[in-house]
Structure formats: structure tokens, C-alpha cells
Structure 1
């Protein structure tokens, strides 16, 4: 389990940051 976290951790973090950034960028479009 620990090995999976070590291997997938950076990828998950990068995906989360990318998702959050995209979310914040889309907020002005939603508010319009």
C-alpha cells in the first residue's frame, strides 16, 4: 500500500493541481 502511495502520490498531486487550476479558470465563464 505504501509503495502504491509513493508511486502514485506525485501523479495524483499533479492531477489534483491541474484539475483545481482548470476549475478556477472556468469559474469566470460559469459566472458569465
Structure 2
């Protein structure tokens, strides 16, 4: 159970990180 939660947490962090990078790239291009 704990490992499942941990991998889910990592997945969420990765998704947030990707969105942050995408937004920063978009801002820089403007």
C-alpha cells in the first residue's frame, strides 16, 4: 500500500514538473 502511494506521489510530482517546464517555456517564447 505504501509503495503504491509513493509511486502515485512521484507520478503527480512528475506531471506537475512537466506542466511547470511547459509553462516556463511558453513564457520565455512570448
Structure 1 runs, 4 residues or longer, greater than 3 Å off: none
TM-score (norm 2): 0.68
Tell which structure's C-alpha radius of gyration is larger. Answer: 1
Aligned residues: 29
Structure 1 residues not aligned, in runs of 5+: none
User: Once superposed, what is the RMSD of the aligned Cα atoms?
Assistant: 1.5
TM-score (norm 1): 0.65
